Amino acid sequence: MKTKAVLIAGASSGSGKTTLTLGLMAALKKMGLDVCGFKSGPDYIDPSLHKIVTGKPSINLDTWMMPKEYLERSFQSRAAIADISVIEGVMGIHDGRLPDSSQGSTAELAAWLKVPVVLIVNANSIARTAAAIVNGLVDFDPTVNIIGVVFNNVGSIKHYEILEKAVSTYCSVPALGCIPKNNDIDIPSRHLGLYMGEDGILDNSKIKVLADTVSKNVDIDKILLLSEMDIKHTDLFSSSSDNLSGHKPKRIAIARDKAFCFYYEDNFEILKHLGYEIVFFSPTDDTTLPEDVDAYYFGGGYPELYAKALSENKKMRKAISEQSLKGAFIYGECGGLMYLGEFLTTVDGQSYPMCGCLPYSTAMKSGLQSLGYTEVKPLKNFLFLKQGIPIRGHCFHYSQMISNDKNLMENIYTGNPADKAQGYRLKNTLASYVHLHFSSLIEI
């Protein structure tokens, strides 16, 4: 069947991908279209911004973490029920894991999905040279279908006319418009990236400015004309559920609030496919755990920003600790690892008691402590994880484990790189810095 989709790819990080993506989504929504958002790579923050604009969850697409057929199904099953899909790329279009391979890059994703690509190029302080940049990116990989270019940081109408003339003279793809300089739609950032959508940085007035800016300066009609593509899968899963680990699922309670907000949307769908009933709760605001639950999942996020509130919620901390002592299955990733430890020390030196399920504490550092893809292989079954079945994920954190009594815990992960593939288990509580994508757990 036919659908419409476009991938926004940058010449480099900082090209303006997020601005163009959000503006295009907002403009398309303003036109009355049903827009589905996607994000290339392991990022959690941009999808949360997409959701504010489109009104529906945005989905991560990562060519290293996700098996190819699953990734294709994840995209196509959502694109099939939308008027148009908009994918935001990551870094520069050809930047990936290796300098001599497209692996993990936006270009690889575009080639896998055969989705049309719109380049965005930062035109600050360049004119005719822009055509050389566009030509280089168009010619670099013929498997990537680039349909046009939008220029960011354009200083004036005259500046854009020069850029457009250069592109029309020397390039095989058209200029599709621009984002003017000083457009008052910058999105603030903090450690780990931009602010989450839930933080309220995209209110209705900002979304209107985004929509109006793109509607006025970008040829949306031409993008719609050039964005048609074929898809073949309309269902995410083609087989019945298969609970690989042998753990008979019932209900899994997932911590989801401002402190725990880093989750891949597909992981929820996969857990449901494996037979879990999902219930959400807030470790920050709730004082009791959901009833009739036999497993708990604490994702990543910003527990350091809400350390005081998390610590002061003693009833919740006690309830989680008691569940851990009883042998309930508890799984924590990154921010979840921090919360399940004994103390969390913020960057200003304040130390706050946490759940104490595992014998370590964590401390925030001023610099990045770990960044990169990781493949882990569980040495034992645990919940949905099965012994010996590799699963891929990503590490990105500013905290560091301290007062770590490894003699009381068991590392049930091995993998690559070995220093990142760490999963600390005591009883049935498991915590790791690795954010796993569960798509490797199932057969398509």
Closest of 332, 345, 200 to residue 263, by C-alpha? 332
Check residue 159 and give left, alpha or beta (phi > 0: left; psi -120 to 50: alpha): alpha
Residue at 87: amino acid letter: I
- 70 vs 73: CA distance, rounded Å: 5
**Following DSSP, what letter does each residue of 371-420 receive, concatenated?**
EEEEEEEESS-BTTB-TT--EEEEEEESEEEES--GGGSEE-EEEESTTT
Q: Are 336 and 255 within 8 A, CB to CB?
A: yes
Residue 179: beta bridge partners?
Answer: 152
Enzyme catalytic residues:
334
CA distance 59 to 38: 5
Nearest to 441 by CA among 257, 223, 267: 267
Is-contact 261 48, C-beta < 8 A? yes
Do the strands 193-194 and 189-190 form a parallel or antiparallel pair, or are they unpaired? antiparallel
Q: Which residues pair with 137 in a beta bridge?
A: none
Instruction: Tell me the C-alpha distance between 310 and 324, whole Å.
Output: 17
Whole-number Å distance between alpha carbons of 385 and 146: 39
CB 371 within 8 A of CB 395: yes
**Structural tokens at position 397:** 């954190």
Alpha-carbon radius of gyration of the chain:
23
